Amino acid sequence: MFRPFLIALQFLTVLPMRIAGPPDATATGRSLLYYPLVGLAIGALLAGLAWMLVDAPTLVAAALLLSVWVVVTGALHLDGLADSADAWAGGLGDREKTLSIMKDPRNGTMAVVALFLVLLIKFAALATLAPNESWEILIVTPVLGRTALVLLFLTTPYVRPHGLGSPLANHLPRRACIVMVIFTLAAIPLITGWTAIGLLLAMAGLFLMLRKLMLQRLGGTTGDTAGALIEITEATVLLAAVLMD
């Protein structure tokens, strides 16, 4: 039980985790079960930082929060967003070309634009929400981002047999993950109150749209599109919170 959680924490954050021996495929697959819990840890870190910045100017607090958010995740999901944006634009509707571009380590114009827009939305939302007064949004946003990823692996084929997410797709504990997703989504209203309705609807609508695009273009998901899903989900949840504020 504890080993899969450490694997999830090691993969999704830059926190120094010591794990005896290389992670096996089964334990890696089970680590997916703890992704929302890692999101909760990230959210708690952000909420704690917001509390410490209570007297800081709003824009400065927002900038510091976003910077820590990016650093603590190692920009892993931003990299997936950049690769996906380049591939979607350059793939011109062709599956194989899209997958090939995703493997290219170079970033093109669409990658830069996608990163800029997502980070801009996050920054503007954080500044508007006054983070020190919206700790509950800071907590649930990373949770919902990683819950969306679990949903993606539960419902969508993984198209790279030897990709980074292959052990997750092949060895995830399906029933336990379903229970975890239901429990997590049901717990959101306990943190945010009635705001949860709008946040969950925004997350669901975005998830269905992005999943449909992945299926149409690729026939499934990849590690890059999974990372893009997390980043876009987080930005959407923050934006929904602002619009309902």
Instruction: Kindly report the average pLDDT of the chain as a whole number.
Output: 92
Residue 213 has pLDDT above 90, yes or no: yes
- Does the pLDDT value for residue 19 go beyond 90? no
How many Å apart are CA 200 and CA 89, to the nearest integer?
A: 29
Mean per-residue pLDDT, 183-208: 95
Q: CA angle, corner 122, sides to 116 and 123, nearest 5?
A: 85
The sign one gets for the Cα dihedral 51, 52, 58, 63 is negative
**Residue 65: pLDDT above 70?**
yes
Is the pLDDT reported for residue 16 higher than 90?
no
Q: What is the pLDDT of residues 132-145, one digit of tens each?
A: 678 999 999 999 99
What's the token pair of residue 97?
């070309």
Average pLDDT rounded to a whole number, residues 117-139: 90
Banded pLDDT at 212 (limits 50, 70, 90): very high
**What pLDDT sits at residue 131?**
65
The alpha carbon of 74 is separated from its chain's Cα centroid by a whole number of angstroms, namely 12
- Given a cut of 80, whether residue 52 has pLDDT beyond it is yes
In which band, very low, low, confident or very high, does the pLDDT at 4 lie, cut at 50, 70 and 90?
A: confident
Q: What percent of the chain has pLDDT over 90?
A: 76
Question: Are 236 and 122 contacting, i.e. CB atoms less than 8 angstroms apart?
Answer: no
Amino acid sitting at position 117: L
Instruction: Name the pTM for this structure.
Output: 0.95
User: Do 27 and 7 form a contact (C-beta atoms < 8 A)?
Assistant: yes
Q: Which of 47, 56, 229 is nearest to 137 (CA)?
A: 47
Q: What percent of the chain has pLDDT over 70?
A: 97
